[in-house]
Every structure is written in C-alpha cells, then in structure tokens.
C-alpha cells in the first residue's frame, strides 16, 4: 500500500495527494466530506448514513489537515466538522481520478 508523500490544499476546496508510487489524486472537498465514516456521519450499529449530503457546502474547504499515526489523516473542515479519520487505504481507494475509477469500476 503506497503512502502519501505530500498532501497540499489547506485553505482550498480540494486537496492534492501525491503518493510514493507517483500517483496524484485530487480530492474535491465536498466529495471527501461526503465519505466521512465517523459516528456523526454513519450510524455505528447499522452503518446507515446520517450525514445529509445536501447540507455540505459546495465550497467547503480544508481548514487543517493532520497526521494520525502513520496510517491516516484528520481534517478540520470549514463547516466545523472534525471527527473523521481518513485512512491512507481509503484515500487511495476513493481516489476520484479517471485512472482509479476505471481500475475499480465506477464509484
């Protein structure tokens, strides 16, 4: 599993992740915010989505990005949400680029 070598986008509406295998993924904020797996966004027992995606601002920004151990990032969003953890494995799996979509089927 490749790890990110750089993550750029604080204060922006998208982040760019460059992976150690030279793959580059650009993650729009609204897209990645909608994939949050925290207990505020996903019901823990049933897995039912609690997050109303229609309430995510189109121009949501990445206010702060921090490392969680050596396996994930945490994000403070401009809407105040900050409890989600985005593992490197999920980030790579969720890469929205055309190449990744083609390799894994449409997301």
- In a domain, residue 104? The reply is no
Query: What pLDDT, on the 0 to 100 scale, is given for residue 96?
Result: 95
For 44, how many CA atoms within 13 A lie in the half-sphere containing its CB? 3
Is the predicted pLDDT of residue 8 greater than 60, yes or no?
A: yes
- In a domain, residue 103? The reply is no
Closest C-alpha among 31, 32, 4, 28 to residue 18: 4
Q: The pTM is what?
A: 0.90
- In a domain, residue 27? The reply is yes
- Structural domain count, the chain: 1
Give percent above pLDDT 90 in the chain: 90
Helices (H), the chain: 29-34, 88-93, 98-104
- In a domain, residue 26? The reply is yes
Q: Report the distance separating Cα 62 and Cα 48, nearest Å.
A: 25
Is the predicted pLDDT of residue 105 greater than 90, yes or no?
A: no
CATH code of the domain covering residue 10: 3.30.2020.30
- In a domain, residue 107? The reply is no
- Domain hosting 41: range is 4-98
Residue pLDDT, tens place only, 29-50: 999 999 999 999 999 999 999 9
- In a domain, residue 45? The reply is yes
- In a domain, residue 73? The reply is yes
């Amino acid at each position: 599993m490749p790890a990110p070598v750089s993550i750029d986008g604080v204060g922006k509406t998208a982040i760019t992740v460059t992976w150690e295998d030279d793959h580059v993924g650009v993650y729009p904020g609204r897209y990645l915010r909608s994939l949050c797996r925290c207990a505020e966004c996903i019901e823990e027992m049933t897995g039912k989505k609690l997050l109303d995606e229609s309430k995510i601002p189109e121009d949501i920004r990445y206010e702060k990005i921090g490392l969680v151990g050596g396996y994930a990032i945490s994000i403070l969003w401009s809407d105040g949400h900050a409890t989600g953890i985005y593992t490197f494995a999920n980030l790579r799996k969720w890469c929205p680029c055309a190449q990744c979509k083609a390799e894994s089927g449409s997301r």
